[in-house]
A = this chain, B = another copy of it.
């Protein structure tokens, strides 16, 4: 399997602290050593860093940990390969343009019979179940969601599509179009929103502690989403299986609970 890390903030915020924990899980405190990637939105633009090498030993991952890139929305992934070789084109996150925005996506889980999902204009470059599902998902959005849709309209379509994908296996997902970060839980995802009064946090995966009060202003709001909680002294909330949450500017702006037939 893999691990996911996402962030949504109301001011450009660096993710060095969380990434310092996450990158250790890629070969040191965790087995996810088959590549990694991280994408930072800055306005409508996006930049990414990725490597098929383990994040724990990657020079590029170390650079990302030490050089604060400030972003409103971040999507990151460390990989433990199941479907698809270990190579650059199979590293997450995957990025495509649709409706004049960059859509960025990362997936945790494994899908069976995923090649049954019909594709259109979006085609996978690599060989993972994850990228195939992403291409299918974008095709549904292209077909069903007008460019002027609100995040609520988009969320409703996404929730239905994610539920379809989770019929194929485990499907935990982060997806953003720069404006909104959508988080879908099939089995395991946790989140936390930090706001004033900010306190100290202790990473689970190394000895690093940060006092957020020293790095923030009283109006900052930052939500972090991760497969497993990254800190030991804060209360993270587990998403329910089947739940979709939309984050924008650090806040929860939409929730679609698990639905049952």
Contacts and interface: CB of A to CB of B under 8 A. Distances in A.
- Give the dominant DSSP class at A's interface: mixed
A97 B126 contact: no
Nearest to A100: B123
A220 interface: no
A44 B125 contact: yes
Interface string A220-261: 000000000000000000000000000000000000000000
A101 interface: yes
B100 A97 contact: no
Interface string A178-207: 000000000000000000000000000000
A45 B121 contact: no
A252 to B, nearest CB: 26
A88 B45 contact: yes
Interface string A53-84: 00000011001000100000000000000000
A17 interface: no
Contact of A63 (B63, B91, B98, B102): B63
A160 interface: no
A4 to B, nearest CB: 20
Contact of A125 (B60, B87, B89, B101): B101
B121 A121 contact: yes
A50 interface: yes
Contacts of A146: none
B102 A125 contact: yes
A122 B101 CA distance: 10
A141 interface: no
15 contacts: A42-B52, A42-B88, A43-B89, A44-B87, A44-B126, A45-B89, A47-B48, A49-B49, A59-B67, A63-B67, A95-B95, A97-B122, A100-B123, A100-B125, A102-B125
